[in-house]
Amino acid sequence: LQEELREAFPLPTSAEADQDSKLPVNLATVKALDLKYDNIRRRVPLLEAVIYESLRLFPTSPGNFWRSVPRGGRVLGGYFIPEGTDVGGASAAYHHGPEWDDPWTFKPERFMGPEGEKRVHKTYYFSTGQRQCIGKALALMEMSLILAVIFRCFSLEVADPSEMDKEWRHFVTLQPVDHKLQIRIRPQDEFEWGEGEVA
């Protein structure tokens, strides 16, 4: 992912000419790299696939999406459910179900290309239909922009990989149980910590 971002958003020409100096990581540098949402989506489709796959594995809202059965009742999975019954579907269970090949493995490529585009519409990260999260588009845009800046300008490393496989608690959002995941972050080789406004 970092290599694709580096190729899609090279250093500005003036910075490339001066190999000895490093760019500060600040708002001016981010603007110079032209890291805009439309550019990110067009040039680095892998980033969006990584976001979708991360949300599939660890949905922000893993719980049930409750609905009341309409008048007359409905048949669901061969069972009649009377009207007025509250029915919920757990997105976390669906996203790890048999519909997904090797569901517990991180495979961003499942969201690449035409088949991947179809798969995106079969996910429930932000609920679905008329009652889906009103902030869905904004959330996806923010994730893309923030992650593009982070992965383009910084190198990240998990301080203690054993912390990756801890227990998670399902509430309104997915929460880690009694642990903190610590990340080491440093500027990539062509950057340095900047002063002033940080992107």
How far apart are alpha carbons 139 and 176 in whole angstroms? 21
**DSSP-derived secondary structure letter, 112:** S
Question: What are the b/e assignments for 60-69, b being 16+ CB within 10 Å?
Answer: ebbbebeeeb
| 153 has binding-site annotation | no
Of 54, 69, 45, 38, nearest to 145 (Cα)?
38
108 DSSP 8-state letter:
G
Biggest alpha carbon–alpha carbon distance for the chain: 74
The annotated binding site for heme is made up of 133
The annotated binding site is made up of 133
